[in-house]
Structure 1
């Protein structure tokens, strides 16, 4: 059983947010334990598509935009760093992204002009030349050339391997947290099936399950599970040279020819069961985007649970009135997009460093209520 004061920080959750939080805190010299109820990286971080951009970035608040921009610049070099450390390539693949038949195209272009982002209208003939497999039923397109996607399962494997190399990190899988160790008003650790883990600070990064855990200390965190289903095809390499998005559905190419199609948006509590209805809907979207997929076999179909939050703005920082308890959760549909900036911001705050962005919009203070 772990002994008292073994760790400077206990991180609850082994997804992208939890692993990268631990990585940054360990780089800052802290002794970190990561607790994950299953194996690391098997929940929403694994299940998502890995586009390194919000699907419609102009529809989000400046708080989300600030984290997304920082992360987009960070990912390519970070992938190279992880590859060098672990031999595992997260495959940050800069393909660009075409949005088709946008209802709010003018707003998108205005947003790009304000933010200094490259986003332009393009003729359909140009899109057809760039993406020969694209369906013929579209009338308008805008293009952002520098958008990348990351192969999220490989990113998680690389993060896990990097953490295992760090002498000041311990990773505890199949270690479900059941509650918090309280000493007066201070959170002094967590309780788990493997015993109590004590720490100076506890970081709750449990994705869609964060709200359930925070209720244990009498707080209502507005983070709820939002189910998303995806399907996967295997095509020839180069079949889809760029990401395409229409009517809320997207196609993402991997370097080896796998094509991801996603995703649904469902409120089904913690039920992750893939459904025939979603499969049919996703296949219809796939064929509308890329008609040749009608003859292709679906080689994967799964569901994940996003940590839904108001406006998609994550909770990052200390919990007022609960000394020692910190949050990094509630990233909704943009966990992988926002992870580098969110986890750097958390580390900046916890280590007392100058922050990369203004932390105020993400602070838990004023955003939680008694349960």
Structure 2
């Protein structure tokens, strides 16, 4: 089976990987360089942030993130020489209003990844001695991990480009689907080239709404800008991830600390704003005052594919017999990515599915249309 995938962010890359490893022939397209949009810009926490604030359907996919990435890293690293750096740092959450909810969530779902405990100040200092004195307690998730997402993307792209079943086309804009009798015959690029395949997948993230008019659907996915900041500290200096008021600190193994993130509805504008960066900086040093002693080495912004509930669209698109969806992951594309791709592979190849696919159905697009 020949499958064309439009979009080479984490969703498109993982979908290509799942299908190529099953023997499918893959042609992968991206409008820019592969892996350079929201997937590269994100933080890489392998859990929904405050999972109790999200529909359970989001957590049903996110729960597989660490396990599936560990499996892929073991398979890809010998070929690519790139380690994703899955870093089990644990996380401290300082939002007092979430303490009881988080502890109750742990009891209800019994997901080992979401195991948490309440810490008083002395315990907190033992877990992370750099936390500001203003925080006298926290809830601690010892098993939460993060992934070095630029390395993940580099490894996926390197692996797929050498894969005998895969062809990658970068800097190509797919302009339209050529449809006859509810069947896509080919896709057409902006310079008039046609590509044929048996099945087609839309994995275009924040740009997915651009298909609405041609497919006569309402696709309620739009870009939400998130800004980030990167500090450089000594290696293994910050022992845990930290979270307060939706702002987070994510330590990497080499001492980089990723800080974010903002949310702004400003279309496809990816320029960082000074005011937002100042807000992020203030939130970071509020949690860990000593960060003020270290240099900021990078600042950037990315575009999240916002969808109404954060539940992605995964499955066959309405009214067409060979077009599939894997988009709309909003803030959780990296942690839902591996299970989303596996679910779509299972649907396309008519295999048993790891979760009930109905919750992710594209029939929701039809209703919105």
Sort the TM-score into its range (normalised by shorter chain): over 0.9
Instruction: Name 1:126's counterpart in structure 2.
Output: 123
Selected match of 2:307 from 298, 306, 309: 309
Once residues 75 and 123 of structure 2 are traced to their aligned partners in structure 1, the CA distance between those partners, rounded to angstroms, is: 35
- Are 1:14 and 2:8 counterparts? yes
Instruction: Name 1:4's counterpart in structure 2.
Output: none
Selected match of 1:326 from 324, 327, 334: 324
Unmatched 5+ stretches in structure 2: none
- The superposition leaves residues 64-117 of structure 1 with CA deviations (integer Å, 9 ceiling, x where unpaired) of 111011223222222222212211111111110111133122121111111113
- Name the stretch that deviates more: 309-318 or 214-223: 214-223
Q: How many residues align?
A: 365
Once residues 88 and 72 of structure 2 are traced to their aligned partners in structure 1, the CA distance between those partners, rounded to angstroms, is: 14
Once residues 243 and 326 of structure 1 are traced to their aligned partners in structure 2, the CA distance between those partners, rounded to angstroms, is: 36
Once residues 182 and 209 of structure 2 are traced to their aligned partners in structure 1, the CA distance between those partners, rounded to angstroms, is: 19
Contact 2:124 2:137 in 1 (8 A): no
Once residues 140 and 185 of structure 2 are traced to their aligned partners in structure 1, the CA distance between those partners, rounded to angstroms, is: 49
Selected match of 1:222 from 217, 220, 223: 220
Instruction: Name 1:354's counterpart in structure 2.
Output: 352
Once residues 204 and 212 of structure 2 are traced to their aligned partners in structure 1, the CA distance between those partners, rounded to angstroms, is: 10
Instruction: Name 2:157's counterpart in structure 1.
Output: 160
Instruction: Name 1:244's counterpart in structure 2.
Output: 242
TM-score, with structure 1 as normaliser = 0.95
Instruction: Name 2:136's counterpart in structure 1.
Output: 139
Contact 1:328 1:343 in 2 (8 A): yes
SS of 2:34's partner is coil
Contact 1:312 1:332 in 2 (8 A): yes
Once residues 96 and 201 of structure 2 are traced to their aligned partners in structure 1, the CA distance between those partners, rounded to angstroms, is: 39
How big is the shift at 1:353? 0.4
Instruction: Name 2:72's counterpart in structure 1.
Output: 78
Matches within 5 A, 1:1-371: 8-117=2-111, 118-193=115-190, 195-369=193-367
- The superposition leaves residues 295-346 of structure 1 with CA deviations (integer Å, 9 ceiling, x where unpaired) of 2221111000000012110000001212211100000000000000000000
SS of 1:103's partner is helix
Once residues 219 and 203 of structure 1 are traced to their aligned partners in structure 2, the CA distance between those partners, rounded to angstroms, is: 16
Once residues 235 and 185 of structure 2 are traced to their aligned partners in structure 1, the CA distance between those partners, rounded to angstroms, is: 51
Contact 2:80 2:158 in 1 (8 A): yes
Once residues 137 and 362 of structure 2 are traced to their aligned partners in structure 1, the CA distance between those partners, rounded to angstroms, is: 41
SS of 1:147's partner is coil
TM-score, with structure 2 as normaliser = 0.96
Once residues 197 and 164 of structure 2 are traced to their aligned partners in structure 1, the CA distance between those partners, rounded to angstroms, is: 17
Once residues 208 and 364 of structure 2 are traced to their aligned partners in structure 1, the CA distance between those partners, rounded to angstroms, is: 17
